[in-house]
Amino acid sequence: MTQSNRQSSMPIIHQNAAGIDIGAKFHVVAVGSDKAKEPVRTFQSFTTDLHAMAKWLKSCEVTSIAMESTGIYWIPAFEILENYGFEVFLVNPREAKNVPGRKTDVNDAQWIQRLHQFGLLRASFRPEKQITVLRAYIRQRERMLEFRASHIQHMQKALMQMNLQLHHVVSDITGATGMKIIRAIMNGERCPAVLAEHRDIRCKESIKTIE
């Protein structure tokens, strides 16, 4: 039995399926050969082009779309297509590559479209919009905390190179006492007694020790 015969005998799960090959600068979109005279089209990744892509898919009566989770390039396309009411499957690229029987004359978008049409692709877990937003905030906070720790180390190294042992008298150089002293030094103050006067009342060390 040839591959075309095997395909024709397979039940179609998604009748109005489309496949998208996601790229950094442009996306290649494929629909069924009976849906458009030009079943494969290319759209740039700009927002206006993504809306044009969604409108073209609507005109082709597409209802379900599969795309590979390539880097972060899929996110704008995914969100816009979802807002247009499409059922969007975000697929692990390895799943599409592991399906046997791929022909060399079929491009990636057409291959994704065919696999999705026959229900051979599984959608990756995608949380609800509110959870997605919350997750983005949490990840951004984690990155900022990592950057903060790195910058504090740079500050401490610079102070050590100038033999300013500030971290030995304050528990945190970015605390109230430490930042007041550092800002005063940056403003040109060099007198130890004046700098020590910036001691916060919660600081454990005495003004004399800091001086």
CA 189 to chain centre: 45
Q: What is the pLDDT, as a whole number, of residue 79? A: 92
Q: How far, in Å, CA of 137 to CA of 129, rounded?
A: 13
Q: Which two tokens stand for residue 32?
A: 């069924």
Burial class (CB in 10 A: 0-12, 13-18, 19+), 151: exposed
Find the mean pLDDT for residues 172-194.
92
Q: How confident is the model at residue 102 (pLDDT cuts 50, 70, 90)?
A: low
Q: What is the pLDDT, as a whole number, of residue 127? A: 78
CATH number of 3-129: 3.30.420.10
DSSP strands (E only) in 22-155: 26-31, 40-44, 64-68, 87-91
The SS3 assignment for 30 reads: strand
Find the mean pLDDT for residues 167-186.
90
What is the number of other CB atoms lying within 10 angstroms of the CB of residue 95?
15
The SS3 assignment for 25 reads: coil
Query: Given a cut of 60, is residue 3 above it in pLDDT?
Result: no
| pLDDT 10s digits, 126-175 | 777 788 889 889 999 999 989 988 999 999 999 899 888 888 888 889 98
Query: Given a cut of 50, is residue 2 above it in pLDDT?
Result: no
Query: Given a cut of 80, is residue 119 above it in pLDDT?
Result: yes
The backbone region for 208, taken as left when phi is positive above 0, alpha when psi lies in -120 to 50, beta otherwise, is alpha
Find the mean pLDDT for residues 98-113.
72
Query: Given a cut of 60, is residue 117 above it in pLDDT?
Result: yes
Q: How far, in Å, CA of 170 to CA of 206, rounded?
A: 10
| Residue ranges covered by each domain of the chain | 3-129, 145-210
Burial class (CB in 10 A: 0-12, 13-18, 19+), 190: exposed
Angle, vertex CA 133, rays to CA 17 and CA 48, nearest 5: 50
Map tokens 């020590």 to a residue. Answer: 196
Q: What is the pLDDT, as a whole number, of residue 4? A: 52
Q: What is the pLDDT, as a whole number, of residue 189? A: 93
The reported pTM is: 0.66
Q: What is the pLDDT, as a whole number, of residue 58? A: 97
What is the number of other CB atoms lying within 10 angstroms of the CB of residue 154?
9
- Are the CB atoms for 66 and 18 separated by under 8 Å? yes
| pLDDT 10s digits, 45-82 | 999 999 999 999 999 999 999 999 888 899 999 999 99
Q: What is the pLDDT, as a whole number, of residue 92? A: 85
